[in-house]
Amino acid sequence: VPVALRAGPPKAFELRAKERMPIEHDTRVVAKIFRHAARLLSVSLPDVYVQPRRPGRLMLANCIEKGRLAPAVIVGRDLMTGYRDTEIAASVGATLALLRPAYYLKLTLSTLDELEAALAASAQLVGRKLGRPELEPLTSAFVPEMQKRLTRPIAEALQATVQRLPDQFDLARWRNAVDAAAQRAGLLVCGELAAAARMVSSESTWLGGPRPIQRVQELITYSVSPSYFAARRHLNVTVG
């Protein structure tokens, strides 16, 4: 629900129909990479828009159409030149992994304050008090909009989830863990450590997040772990 509060129609993100890539059957390399990554990670293909003049590599457009979330990915000019196919695959894999419902909040709520307020609002809806008092104005803004969209099954699931939450939680750690999981997905999709490391090291970081060298080190550690090779086998990707 907090995701929907940050969503808008495609035109709010300056998306035009003519820029939409027919991702399901387009023969361009980037389209093939999207299809490969979606198949490997078992995620739905988002709408993909190509905007050669827009700065950036891959960006989220948190669209809502006919009352339903329809996240789209924008391919910007910075991904169109200077990158090998495996490097593009690493970026696409990491981005698609973040479109999973469990991780999507990291893309749409960019600050820890927003994440904490959304969590506090969710808890408040089922009668539990969480979050810092200074975030109450932001929390209060979330609550009524979330209440409108709360169905009985969602409320029951929410209550069960909130009951399991500790009194003290570390959202910075959660956000960093989500980022690491996405970068691991990128590595699994591209199959080349050097490509994944280059993309990770050249991305901008966020306040309180790991430095680029730390993110690369985490990826290197994962690339030689039993978990990595087990994931490759599970996905039927050849382990070289």
- Per DSSP, 102 falls in state T
More confident residue, 3 or 31: 31
- pLDDT for position 64: 87
**What's the rounded Cα separation, in Å, for the pair 40 and 222?**
18
- The H or E element spanning position 74 is strand 72-75
Using CA atoms, how far apart are residues 105 and 99, in angstroms rounded to an integer?
9
Average pLDDT, the chain: 91
**Cβ contacts of 162-166, under 8 Å, gap ≥ 24:** 162/122, 162/123, 162/126, 162/128, 162/130, 163/128, 165/119, 165/123, 165/128, 165/130
- With cut-offs at 50, 70 and 90, classify the pLDDT of residue 239: low
Higher pLDDT among residues 108 and 136, named by residue: 136
pLDDT score, position 1: 58
Q: Is the pLDDT of residue 240 over 50?
A: no
- Give me the amino acid identity at 113: D
Segment among 108-112, 170-174, 205-209 with least mean pLDDT: 205-209
Q: Please report the pLDDT score of residue 6 as a whole number.
A: 73
Position with higher pLDDT, 83 vs 68: 83
Residue 53: pLDDT over 80: yes
Whether the model clears a pTM of 0.85, i.e. scores above it, the answer is yes
